[in-house]
Amino acid sequence: MKERIIEKSAEIAVIGLGYIGLPTAIMFANAGFNVIGYEIRDEVVKKLNSGNSHIVEPDIDELLHRAIKSGRLRATSDKNDIREKDVYLICVQTPLKDDKTPDLSYLENAVRTVAETMKRGSLVIIESTIPPMTTIRMAKLIEEVNGLKAGEDFYMAHAPERVMPGRIFKELVYNSRILGGIDEESAELAEILYRSFVKGQIFKTNSTTSEMVKLMENTFRDVNIALANEFALLAHQYGVDIFKAIELANTHPRVKIHTPGIGVGGHCLPKDPYLLLSSAKEDFGLVKKAREINEDMPLFVKDLLVSALKTINLPPEDAIVTVLGLAYKGDSDDTRNSPALFFIEEIKEEVKDVRTYDPYVKGTHETLEEALRGSDVAVIATDHSLFKNLNWEELGKLMRNRVLIDGRHVVQTPPKSFVFKGIGRGEY
């Protein structure tokens, strides 16, 4: 197996062609491996095989085109096409259930598919973010399904993905990687495999450590954003502009405060802290409290909206509100756990109408101008580049009332003719 990976004659099956699986499949194909992507969504398979990406990411169209044209990448939804591959990379989603416990059903189904199709000697790698000890549990699941013995008949590792959407193809190459094997040989094989395109450092460890490391990284970010959000809430009480205050605090050599906003979305940060806690006997409060603070931020934006409507004496039930941005972060089309959607859910029964516009996601209106025409309030919920330098005095001419609520600090100077409120902009 080692030689086959070194020579790049090893055949790779990538299970799940989403935001992580597709770029990963493209990278391995363009590094010289024969890659087959297995995906349960037929429409995705069709789109990819015709050379078109179903996700928005810089450079993806060109890199996908190159991989498909070379004949080294193909997508399928037929299990028979992934039989007896040398390497299986599992990249399926690992969301939460409604009660905030991990929903590992996608992972378990994918692992079963691998167990049914793999051969003796295969290397199985889980790239998905998973609760501590899951790789070991999944190795046992494979043993139950096909009778092979982990560590003797097959290799297995966890290779958490750390890429940032919007920079995926750069970070895939230059980020350092943590590879957690169920044994040393598995980690070593994974290292040789990823070295085919990774230029960053590679650190080998055991699978439970790598699972915890990945979850710690995202929990660190979530807790830090919660702290920034709490500072923003305090700034409102003191009449301080939190962004000026953060800028000044961040001049300290050991302080780096994150950015407050309408909330924390995406497939990762809102659920990874819960995955971290999910296998523990006891938790100690901080991680959950940070989650609660971040989950409540859309409600705070609702408070800003209500108070702005009071200022202009417009009853909420008469107000037409236009939400700008549906994606969870700027210049992305991903709406998973988007604070914009939570905000809309909170206000939709209480105002006359909610309109939406997003340059990357289908909203109620096709253009910004159409969405704003005749509306009373604009609420910026996503920091898309497009929203950063808008001429609000001009756009205001289209509106019935001029209220602007900035949930993402994209408006640097509040437009004079507007009632303006922004998260953490205490002085306005």
Ligand X SMILES: CC(=O)N[C@@H]1[C@@H](OP(=O)(O)OP(=O)(O)OC[C@H]2O[C@@H](n3ccc(=O)[nH]c3=O)[C@H](O)[C@@H]2O)O[C@H](CO)[C@@H](O)[C@@H]1O
Ligand Y SMILES: NC(=O)c1ccc[n+]([C@@H]2O[C@H](COP(=O)([O-])OP(=O)(O)OC[C@H]3O[C@@H](n4cnc5c(N)ncnc54)[C@H](O)[C@@H]3O)[C@@H](O)[C@H]2O)c1
Q: Does 271 bind ligand X (CB under 6 A)?
A: no
H-run or E-run covering 322: strand 320-324
d(C-alpha 269, C-alpha 337), whole Å: 9
Using rule CB under 6 A, residue 93 touches ligand X: no
172: exposed, middle or buried (C-beta count within 10 Å: 0-12, 13-18, 19+)?
Answer: buried
Residue 328: which of ligand Y, ligand X, none does it interact with, CB under 5 to 8 A by kind? Answer: ligand X
Smallest distance from ligand X to CB 384, Å: 11
- Tell me the window of 105-113, 290-298, 312-320, 375-383 that interacts with ligand Y (CB under 6 A): 105-113
Q: Which of 85, 91, 204, 268 is catalytic?
A: 268
- Minimum distance of ligand X from residue 420's CB (angstroms): 20
Instruction: Kindly write down the DSSP assignment for every residue of 249-283, as one continuous string.
Output: HTTSTT-------S---SSSTTTHHHHHHHT-S--
18 touching ligand X, by CB under 6 A? no
**What contacts 24+ positions apart, CB below 8 Å, involve 244-251?**
none
Taking CA atoms, 194 is separated from 80, 92, 154, in Å, by: 26, 19, 18
According to the binding rule CB under 6 A, does residue 295 interact with ligand X?
Answer: no
Could you give phi then psi for residue 404, rounded to 5 degrees?
Answer: -130, 125
Per rule CB under 6 A, count of chain residues that contact ligand Y: 27
Residue 39 binds ligand Y (CB under 6 A): yes
To the nearest 5 percent, what fractions of the chain are helix, strand and coil? 40, 15, 45
Q: Would residue 268 show up in a list of annotated catalytic residues for this protein?
A: yes
Residue 40, binding choice from ligand X, ligand Y, none, Cβ under 5 to 8 Å by partner class: ligand Y
Q: What type of residue is 105?
A: S
**99: Cβ contacts below 8 Å, ≥ 6 apart:** none
Distances (CA, A) of 304 to 298, 321, 323: 10, 13, 14
Q: Which residue is nearest to ligand Y (CB)?
A: 18
**Residues β-bridged to residue 126:** 90, 158
Beta bridge partners of 202: 177
- Please tell me the count of residues contacting ligand X according to CB under 6 A: 20
- Residues from 307 through 336 that contact ligand X (CB under 6 A): 328-329
Residue 176, SS3 per DSSP: coil
Query: According to CB under 6 A, which residues from 170 to 229 bind ligand X?
Result: 217-218, 221, 225
Instruction: Catalytic residue, from 204, 214, 329, 421: name it.
Output: 214
Greatest Cα pair distance, the chain, in angstroms, is: 74
Per CB under 6 A, the segment of 104-112, 199-207, 352-360, 388-396 that binds ligand Y is 104-112
Phi, psi of 241 (to 5 degrees): -85, 110
Site string for ligand Y, 146-175 (x = CB under 6 A): ---------------x-x-x----------
129 is a site residue for ligand X (CB under 6 A): yes
Alpha helix ranges (H) inside 131-206: 134-146, 168-174, 184-194
Quote the least distance from Cβ 108 to ligand Y, whole Å: 9
Binding mask 175-204 for ligand Y (x = CB under 6 A): ------------------------------
Closest of 9, 39, 7, 6 to residue 24, by C-alpha: 39
When asked if residue 162 is in the footprint of ligand X (CB under 6 A), the reply is yes
Contacted entry of ligand X, ligand Y, none for residue 113, CB cut-off 5 to 8 Å set by kind: ligand Y
Report the interface residues with ligand Y, using CB under 6 A: 15-21, 38-41, 44, 91-94, 106, 109-110, 113, 128-129, 161, 163, 165, 267-268
Query: What positions carry a catalytic annotation?
Result: 214, 268
* Interacting residues with ligand X (CB under 6 A): 129, 161-165, 217-218, 221, 225, 258-259, 261, 264-266, 268-269, 328-329
